[in-house]
């Protein structure tokens, strides 16, 4: 079943919080690689014997690990508890939920996004393929075309802006940045983006997107970083000009790179 006999992986559970002890031992074996994704655990009866506990304790421990996303429970003749491959979407969703339920001031989120974007941009220039960079430029130019329409489709603008951010982070070829960016994008899902609501900010934002994409494609890190910095100057100015009283209740202005953010009590206090 595993690289080691289960008896050598685990020891009898302590008294008191037995289910927690069982769960911690199994979790440790998964995180250490002793139990691999797709690998099945011993049956509930075997786990009872190994840990010296009741079936109820074992089931409670397995249920807790399932809720954490570490195990999946399969039914049927070949069923049982199996180590689950951690999904990127689940990681991003958890971080998105954390961001949604904690009311961060706008400046804290903007500061975080700017520092991440600067690192991602440098990596994108160094690692991205010519084809992917060209696609980023094409997308930015398409964004500019949408923004210059007489009556811009705000939903389409928001979706394309979101996709451009994901394209950019994929150029960096680092899955951790991609997970975090995905969480930020889904965590502040809103299509009426602050920077696109006012014509002047909208024009400046899309022009800056095009400049950023072209600088990345041309391998010009200083120009690209200058454009990133300018984007956040626009964003901070936009937040200041709008003021918290102009934002929908319970939404925190967080960036989706030209994005509109959701603001909560802390951000309103920070105004």
CATH code: domain of residue 124: 1.20.120.530
Query: Domain range for residue 239?
Result: 90-270
CATH number of the domain bearing residue 16 = 1.10.10.10
Please enumerate in sequence order all residues whose Cβ is within 8 A of that of 233, keeping only pairs 6 or more positions apart, or say none.
Answer: none
Same domain for 133 and 19: no
Cβ-count burial 78-96 (b if 16+ within 10 Å, e if not): eebbbbbeeeeeebbbebb
Distance of CA 12 to the CA centre of its chain: 38
Task: Give the span between the Cα atoms of 187 and 93, in whole angstroms.
Answer: 8
For the chain, which ranges sit under pLDDT 70?
A: 1-7, 87-97, 99-100, 186-193, 244-271
- Number of domains into which the chain is organized: 2
**pLDDT at position 87, please?**
67
- Which of 24, 59, 83 terminates a domain? The answer is 83
Question: What stretches of 126-251 adopt beta strand conformation (E)?
Answer: none
The confidence score (pLDDT) of residue 66 equals 92
Q: Which is nearest to 187 in space by CA: 123, 127, 251, 116?
A: 251
Which candidate, 199, 197, 205, 187, places its Cα nearest to that of 263? 187
Q: Is residue 1 part of a domain?
A: no
Are 155 and 191 contacting, i.e. CB atoms less than 8 angstroms apart?
Answer: yes
Short-list 261, 257, 230, 99, CA closest to 165: 257
Q: Are 48 and 100 contained in the same domain?
A: no
The pLDDT assigned to 88 comes to: 61
pLDDT reported for residue 247: 47
Condensed to tens digits (0 to 9), the pLDDT of residues 152-189 reads 998 899 889 989 999 999 999 998 898 888 777 765 53
**Can you give the pTM of this predicted structure?**
0.65
Q: According to the model, what pLDDT value does residue 189 have?
A: 39
Q: Do residues 234 and 256 both lie within one domain?
A: yes
Is 112 inside a domain boundary?
A: yes
Contact 267, 249 (CB under 8 A): no
Per-residue model confidence (pLDDT) at position 222: 97
Say how far apart CA 137 and CA 119 lie, in whole Å: 19
Question: What pLDDT, on the 0 to 100 scale, is given for residue 262?
Answer: 35
Q: How far apart are CA 233 and CA 67, in angstroms?
A: 42
Residue 257 contacts residue 105 (beta carbons within 8 Å) = no
């Amino acid at each position: 079943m595993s690289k080691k006999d289960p008896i050598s992986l685990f020891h009898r559970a302590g008294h008191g919080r037995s289910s927690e002890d069982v769960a911690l031992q199994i979790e440790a074996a998964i995180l250490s690689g002793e139990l691999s994704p797709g690998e099945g655990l011993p049956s509930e009866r075997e786990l009872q014997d190994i840990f010296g506990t009741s079936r109820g304790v074992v089931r409670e421990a397995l249920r807790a690990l399932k809720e954490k996303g570490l195990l999946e429970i399969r039914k049927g003749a070949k069923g049982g508890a199996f180590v689950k491959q951690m999904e990127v979407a689940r990681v991003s969703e958890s971080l998105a939920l954390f961001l949604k339920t904690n009311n961060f001031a706008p400046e804290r989120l903007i500061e975080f996004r700017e520092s991440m974007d600067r690192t991602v941009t440098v990596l994108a220039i160094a690692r991205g393929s010519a084809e992917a960079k060209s696609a980023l430029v094409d997308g930015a130019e398409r964004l500019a075309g949408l923004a210059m329409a007489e009556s811009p489709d705000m939903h389409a603008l928001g979706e394309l802006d979101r996709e451009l951010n994901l394209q950019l982070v994929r150029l960096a070829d680092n899955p951790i940045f991609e997970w975090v960016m995905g969480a930020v994008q889904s965590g502040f899902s809103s299509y009426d983006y602050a920077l696109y609501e006012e014509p002047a900010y909208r024009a400046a934002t899309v022009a800056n997107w095009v400049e950023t994409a072209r600088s990345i494609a041309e391998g010009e890190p200083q120009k690209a970083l200058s454009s990133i910095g300018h984007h956040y100057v626009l964003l901070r100015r936009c937040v200041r000009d709008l003021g918290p009283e102009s934002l929908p209740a319970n939404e925190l202005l967080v960036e989706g790179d030209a994005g509109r953010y959701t603001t909560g009590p802390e951000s309103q206090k920070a105004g």
